[in-house]
Chain A
Amino acid sequence: MAKTALCEVADQDLQASMAAFFRSLLALDEISAVMVPMHLPAKDMVMQTLVTDPEALDAVDPLAPSFPMNAARLVSRLTKRPAGGTVAVVLRPCEIRALIELVKLKQGLMDDIVVIGLDCPGAFKNTDYRKFAANEPETATGRFLKGALSGETAFGDGVEVPVACRACTHPVPHGADLSVGLFGIDIDKTFLVSAETEKGEALFEKLGLGEQEPPAKREETIESLVAARTAFRDEMFEKIRENTNTAEKLSAYLAGCINCYNCRVACPVCYCRECVFVTDVFDHDPYQYLRWARRKGKIKMPTDTVFYHLTRMAHMTTACVGCGQCSNACPNDIPLVELFTATASLTQAAFDYEAGRSLAEEPPLSAFKADEYADVVEITH
């Protein structure tokens, strides 16, 4: 059973209390830096920030409904070789799951980090966050949490919790060393801290957190949240499958795509340094375009759009964590997260795999056995 403590929230100011919590963490000898979403001084944007100065932590706001990127990519950068110190990284559940995939794909290490996971009520897409925070940036996080934790998804002026978050069945972090709990907690008074690993327990002790049980309604709250999310997700899967169940429908679904590849750049688990779609293989000669056009009568430009998306599905959906950054990044508002998570559910089920579930399970396309999957081999005699 994980060790848990309820940390006091002074003056109903959750943000200030979180800042104090991260300051106490940074004060420990074993922690050299904290990477946490913070308000940037220049503009009201919340971005992951690597902090070594405890004073600077005043501006932390890890629960702001802002999710400009999946930070697993940043952790991968910080850990590809030893950094000479331990960094506490503050992540949402889907960021931890993406990190687990990246570590298994040899794109990062867990050795020199401490993962602080957050209960995640969701976060807006970039344009919605700017709209929501615009007039009253100081109250944005509070306003959001109040609504989101009581199940609201619409925040006026067309601002809403995106599909990825509403369909996310992992609102509670798994795989963190320490996690911060909000669901079923009266966050005007306290927030929950729990130690999930040995590393986490050691820090928990050092921080001198007393031990208190979480309120009884926490489990219930989480259960009903996950049930609602699961129902939303299943309905979403059904709709998207119906809408894309032929090549022609898929092509229509992607009709607005301009092959900018932002979705792939934003995807935390699309880790190739050089995607094949930007190599010479796809730098076609002009005469080839004309030849294709002659053969088919017409070709859409740019070419290879459906090809790109189907290939991405084959290459990475076994690692898709459903974070929704693909949709967030698309300049043409193509609903990609629906498409990719629905496909991911098929490919992950095929290998009895779940992206981000455990560091111990081998990624389906990195492993193989001599005796398996006879079902896909034709016996012709």
Chain B
Amino acid sequence: MDDFEPTIIAFVCNWCTYTAADLAGTSRLSYPTNVRLIRVMCTGMVDPKYIIKAFLEGADAVLVSGCHPGDCHYINGNYKARRRMKLLKAILPQYGFDEKRLKLTWIGASDGIQFARTIREMVAEIKTLGPNEAKHAAVV
């Protein structure tokens, strides 16, 4: 399992977590390169189908990360994201996608350190979990 490098798709909101990721970069904080950031204006625009698609295309984990409750720039997008997370965590495990592979976090714009730590921890956890089986199965 040592040579397994997970691919993590992260949907991050422009105003908080993306800014935090940027800050982590400019502060020269190191975090694993396994994560592919997809910048969205708000976590409230992450339709469940984006997450489903990521898993079906073989992502080993998906992270959705945005502003803390009360801080969303569109007032309540992160609350909608949280409901969708609740929804997907009810569906995906039934079809073989471990719910540990799907995470929601709140990371504020000034929290580059937490962003780097979140990615490090997530990569470590997914490494122990192993690859998303759907990657190798003939899923169509």
Contact = CB atoms under 8 A, between A and B. Distances in A.
Interface of A: 241, 244-251, 276, 299-300, 303, 305-307, 310-311, 313-315, 317-318, 342-343, 346-347, 349-351, 364-365, 368-373, 375-378, 380-381
B105 to A, nearest CB: 5
B94 A343 contact: yes
Contact of B86 (A241, A248, A376): A376
B82 A376 contact: yes
Contacts of A251: 137-140
Contacts of A276: 49
B56 to A, nearest CB: 6
Please classify the interface of chain A as helix (H, G, I), strand (E, B), loop, or mixed, using the class held by over half of its residues.
Answer: helix
B49 A245 contact: no
Contacts of A378: 103-105, 118
Nearest to A292: B57
Nearest to A380: B118
Contacts of A368: 76, 79-80, 82-83
Given A246-B95, A310-B91, A370-B70, A376 B137 contact: no
B1 interface: no
Contacts of B105: 377-378, 380
A306 to B, nearest CB: 6
A313 B117 CA distance: 33
B97 interface: yes
B106 interface: yes
B123 to A, nearest CB: 13
Interface in B82-140: 82-91, 94-97, 103-106, 114, 117-118, 121, 133-134, 137-140
Nearest to A300: B140
Nearest to A313: B91
Contact of B91 (A347, A369, A370, A371): A347
Contacts of B88: 314
B32 interface: no
Contacts of B104: 376-378
Contacts of A373: 82-83, 85-86
Contact of A241 (B69, B76, B94): B94
Contacts of B133: 246-248
Contact of A377 (B82, B84, B90): B82
A365 B83 contact: yes
A307 to B, nearest CB: 6
B48 interface: yes
B140 A245 contact: no
Contacts of B90: 346-347, 349-350
Which of B52, B83, B106, B133 has most chain A Cβ within 10 Å?
Answer: B83
A307 B49 contact: yes
Given A310-B56, A372-B82, A380-B117, A248 B139 contact: yes
Contacts of A314: 48-49, 52, 84, 87-88, 91
Interface string B64-87: 000001100000100110111111
B53 interface: yes
A310 B52 contact: yes
Given A251-B139, A315-B49, A376-B82, 19 more contacts: A245-B96, A247-B56, A247-B97, A248-B134, A305-B140, A314-B87, A318-B87, A350-B87, A351-B86, A364-B83, A365-B84, A368-B82, A368-B83, A370-B79, A371-B69, A372-B82, A375-B86, A377-B106, A380-B121
A310 B91 CA distance: 8
Given A246-B133, A251-B138, A368-B82, A307 B56 contact: yes
A246 B80 contact: no
B117 to A, nearest CB: 6
B128 to A, nearest CB: 16
20 contacts: A244-B95, A247-B97, A247-B137, A251-B137, A310-B52, A310-B95, A311-B49, A314-B49, A314-B88, A314-B91, A315-B49, A318-B87, A365-B87, A368-B79, A370-B79, A371-B69, A373-B86, A375-B86, A376-B86, A377-B104
Contacts of A245: 94-96
A381 B114 contact: yes
A305 B139 CA distance: 9
A250 B56 CA distance: 12
**Max chain B C-beta neighbours (<10 A), residue from A299, A303, A342, A378:** A378
Contacts of B140: 251, 299-300, 303, 305-306
A370 B87 contact: no
A272 to B, nearest CB: 12
A17 B88 CA distance: 49
Of the listed residues A241, A314, A375, the one surrounded by the most CB atoms of chain B closer than 10 A to its CB is A314
Nearest to A312: B49
Contacts of A313: 91
